[in-house]
Amino acid sequence: MNDAARSHVRNALAPFAVVEDVTPAVDGGRFAIKRVVGEEVVVEAACFAHGHERVDCCVRYRGPGEDAWREVPMESLGNDRWRARFTVDRVGAWQYGIACWVDHLAVWREEFERRVDPPDMRLAGLVGAELVAASAANTTGDVRDQLIHWARALREEQEPQQLRGVAMDDTLLELARIHAPRHGATQSAAYPAWVDRERARFSTWYETFPRSLGQPGEHGTFRDVERHLGRIAAMGFDVLYLPPIHPIGRSNRKGRNNTTQAQPDDVGSPWGIGAEEGGHTAIHPRLGTLEDFRHLVEATRAHGMEIAMDIAFQAAPDHPWVRDHPAWFRKRPDGTIQYAENPPKKYQDIYPIDFETPDWRALWVALRDVFLYWVRQGVEIFRVDNPHTKPFVFWEWVIAEIRRENPDVILLSEAFTRPRVMHRLAKLGFTQSYTYFTWRTTREEITEYFEELAASEAREYFRPNVWPNTPDILPYHLQNAGLPMFRLRFVLAATLAANYGMYGPAYELGENHPYRAGSEEYFASEKYEVKQWDLDRPGNLVPLITQVNRLRREHPALQADWSLVFHRTDNPAHVAYSKRAGDDVVLVVVNLDPHHVQSGFVHLELAELGLQDGVNFRVEDRLTGDVHPWRGSSNFVMLDPYRQPAHVFTLRR
């Protein structure tokens, strides 16, 4: 109901009602909660008034471009706690809040029911008639006529039992309450919500270097990427993430294995952005032209995928910005510019941008325009490199600017840093966030971390995107490991989180050699050279990846994060968890030991699976097709990592 139909919202009295403890609210409403189109916002609050007064309340909400507020009544949960829900139906900025007021009609009805003396009942009837008449004045048509008739009946002289029957009309009471003047009304603050398209909640990322997709001995192009789209789409990926596609600096260019002396034929790191051919809005000439890139964007969409583009705000020494905007880079006392470092890593081929420059306004506009340029080329997904090294206030501003241009844009925060920093970036508007999954390996570590992501208040703003590897990170547990480790880590990533990604073909081929002991860098890292991958290498993970990604698409339970529940296991080498969406339930048991057969009992939280204690049911392993009869909460499992790393069960009652 809109404001025009709610003229009685205007309040002539002081705000007697109280609204407290509104949820969800991120930092008291300083930041927006996140939803995707079609999801509900479930709002709760403490609502009450002084003495014995009763209150009524509603959630008021409006979507992007709306001036009028819509309303949905709240239901009492007891002990002054109230709840209501509404569904968001389009992308953009939403607002919601709570209105609470003294409900005189509810108090009147409650007191009338306790009256037994005829004079008291008659007087109470007159009081009720006045309240009902006030409601009638706030409406029109048939409803107004019904309320006027009810008020007249409450005023009439009649037998006590007849009057009681008139006063106890629940249908008319609810009509009167809906249209009653909102005496002592209080309006809470308006809380923000940002609504994204569905891919923000559910996406499957595949990272690959275009220059390594060419014919043997040749530098790959965008046309070569197009030749691989069918293969990547067939594995079930819907986001194709490309490292930076810009010209690569020649000054201080890195050689193979991150050496500081490049050979003439070394191609350098794509993150060393900028050369005489251009900077962040230019394309590396060996990849193709702008028209080639636009063609790739459309070809990717034709395969049901989208391009995700890398945004790295840094510059090679020969980036045009270094020449044209020297104030954007901090100079040392000797006049040189300090290259980027992330000890023990050193990036001699990269200059960090100085966000404390006096010319910061022009810098911000230039960085914003990088995003907007690529948005206008059809890119709607960006993976942002190291956002935690740039000021928070910049990200809040630039994300708002991007959304003004295109609210469908999705931004992934690549920040492996302190928890508060990662969470602040998510609050500021990054759609998805990298996580610590890459280094969580034990049952306890996995359980604790994902319960935090799925069940704490952080879930209102922090959408995890989990990666078992990246071009920068070959985690220790994957180093020199066999394919069983790669398989189990993949199943964890793809089923624990609705958003996950992998760096391929390195991952599906089990690339596992570190540069040196104690390092998480790959030996012969693709960051510094063109690789020739044997995509048909025996024992690769492509069949498993394809199968699990198909299950992700088929099962709504795997397409969201909040329903995640962990189940107790006797064996610490097993981790068990489930997800549920209505009647769709997926139960996963993973063997975390890549070397040995592990067996034990899984103890299910049956209610979380929609089952009653003692019920017989069947579980079907969607990886093998095997069906097992189970009964009750405790059931036996045994997993051989060399045959299959996990059970991915669906339930049959």
Q: What is the pLDDT of residues 608-631, one digit of tens each?
A: 999 998 889 999 999 999 999 999
Residue 283 lies in a domain: no
Last residue of a domain, one of 173, 195, 217: 195
Residue 361 lies in a domain: no
CA dist 129 to 49, 150, 412, Å?
24, 8, 60
Residue 626 lies in a domain: yes
Give the pLDDT score at 13.
66
Specify burial of residue 468 (Cβ count, 10 A radius: 0-12, 13-18, 19+). buried
Residue 42 lies in a domain: yes
What CATH number corresponds to the domain at position 174? 2.60.40.10
pLDDT tens, residue by residue, 195-213: 999 999 999 999 999 999 9
What CATH number corresponds to the domain at position 629? 2.60.40.1180
What positions carry a catalytic annotation? 385, 414
Residue written as token pair 């530098």? 219
Residue 69 lies in a domain: yes
**What secondary structure, in 3-state letters, does 147-183 show?**
HHHHHHHHHCCCCHHHHHHHHCCHHHHHHHHHCCCCC
Give the pLDDT score at 176.
87
Residue 347 lies in a domain: no
Give the pLDDT score at 79.
95
Q: Residue 63 belongs to what domain range?
A: 3-195
Residue written as token pair 């709306």? 66
Last residue of a domain, one of 163, 195, 227: 195
CA dist 376 to 1, 225, 339, 369, Å?
38, 21, 32, 10
Residue 489 lies in a domain: no
Last residue of a domain, one of 164, 195, 226: 195
| Low-confidence spans in the chain with pLDDT less than 50 | 1-11
Name the 3-class secondary structure at 99: strand
Residue 387 lies in a domain: no
d(CA 178, CA 56): 10
Name the 3-class secondary structure at 411: strand
How many structural domains comprise the chain? 2
pLDDT tens, residue by residue, 155-172: 987 888 888 888 899 899
Contacts of 149 (CB under 8 A, 6+ apart): none
DSSP string, 12-70: SS----EEEEEES-BGGGTB-EEEETT-EEEEEEEEE-STT--EEEEEEEE-TT--SPE
